[in-house]
Structure 1
Amino acid sequence: MEKTKPIELLEKIRAVNPLIHNITNIVVANFTANGLLALGASPVMADAVEETAEMAKAANAVVLNIGTLNERIVDAMILAGKSANENDVPVVLDPVAAGATHFRTETAQKLLQEINFTAIRGNASEIANLIGMKSKIKGVDAGETNLDAGELALRAAKELNTTVVVSGKTDAVSNGSDVYLVHNGHPILTKVTGTGCLLSAVCGAFLAVEKDPVTAAVSALVMYGTAAEIAREKARADLPGSFQIEFLNQLATLSAEDLEVYGSFEKKAGIIQ
């Protein structure tokens, strides 16, 4: 993957304004919509079963987030996901807190059975629980796993037959053969609710303009992490409220020069297949 790819794809998003259909949780809907708008995408937050299939067909990407679940939402997600599959629209799954409850874990598995996902983005605990590796999780906060991010992404991508994004101190992306590590970001992201959920939506925006899921996901992570690093450097952005506002500002103003200076990713060598 070329070093300039995140720049190229960010500029493309801003130029074409892709429509991103989100069925997401009530905690993060506003932040997700504002983040996508700042980035240059066009968000729609439609979860009525009467229209999700039609909206998914019209979208450039669909993002399904299980953060606040009920049976109606699950039905809406399946309708949207199947419609997206039928119309060649990329679909992202964010398995929020998979492993925390039986309903949540079973829902994630049901979605995996019903829908072909272009990419799955979660923290280490969520991804581990998707593939049957028990990992403790507190609410939506990640616990520990026995694998590093790269190994976990590779194993999950092989088992789930899709591209997997594992978020953490170092982010990892794998399609089951290649593994990329992304070294951008800042710990303050964990102090603002919804930053992981927005990242999944941002992955959707990059998938809307790039057919290769690994390239799209790595580019999204580099851009997102760079925006966080620059936002944290601003005045009083060490506080979560100030950081949240400045982070949105950086999503809107991030430049090619910023990505050239801050962007840091690598293809992991020595992967055992």
Structure 2
Amino acid sequence: MNKSTNPIGLFDSGVGGTSIWREIHNILPSENTIYLADSKNAPYGQKSKEEIIELSIKNTEFLLNQNCKMIVVACNTATTNAIKELRTKFDIPFIGIEPAIKPAANSTQTQTIGILATQGTLNSELFHKAVLDYKDIKIVEQVGHGLVKLIEEGSLESAEMKKLLQDYLTPMIKANIDYLVLGCSHYPYLIPQIKEILPETVKIIDSGLAVARQTKNVLVTQDILNNSSQKGNTLFYTNSNPKVLSSILENKYDVEERDF
């Protein structure tokens, strides 16, 4: 059976994974997509590994019931804690998202890079393994406590957000970082504010484009790329207030609230 017209499923602990969806949609406009925002359980970063695995399985099963041909785990915390279990349990291609340490570590001139991520990502075994490859590089880690919560509440431009970012980034600036790695799919929405705080010499890296390219590669390899010349359909589901997801999407798409 030809699965090429089946949708790509994406899930995140909330609205942040739409930053990944945008990149995928940009390079694969013909693909049908279904995005699942598990905002009711956000943030994942403060949950146990067992809880994250359980939620990731639940989200995957929802998307598989919609006949998705591939699942993009558009959440750093879910990827670093659960993707191994998902690949074992389900016979479907999975694409994960991890902090882009490699390009930052390979390009740094000051031998110092910063990583802003959730507690769940920074504590994960996958992250610790990745860091071990760069023992000669100083990595300044910072947990972004409260950032996801504020984004999920629709408080992107709040005074509280600005203060948190200032508190988190100032030690990195003092440590002389020249790259900042964003280790959470919510954080690209903070880039304009982050740029106001960081010196112009500091480059910001997120994983979105790399994930989109990997998605395309796997679709081609598995022979399930949608070659239609028509624009794909997109469905957005959330189990919380749909207004926040609609706002992140600039009210260009319908968002359906579902209890899952």
TM-score > 0.5 by shorter chain: no
Bigger radius of gyration: 2
- Greater RCO (CA < 8 Å, at least 6 residues apart): 2
More helix by share: 1
Q: What TM-score, normalized to structure 1?
A: 0.34
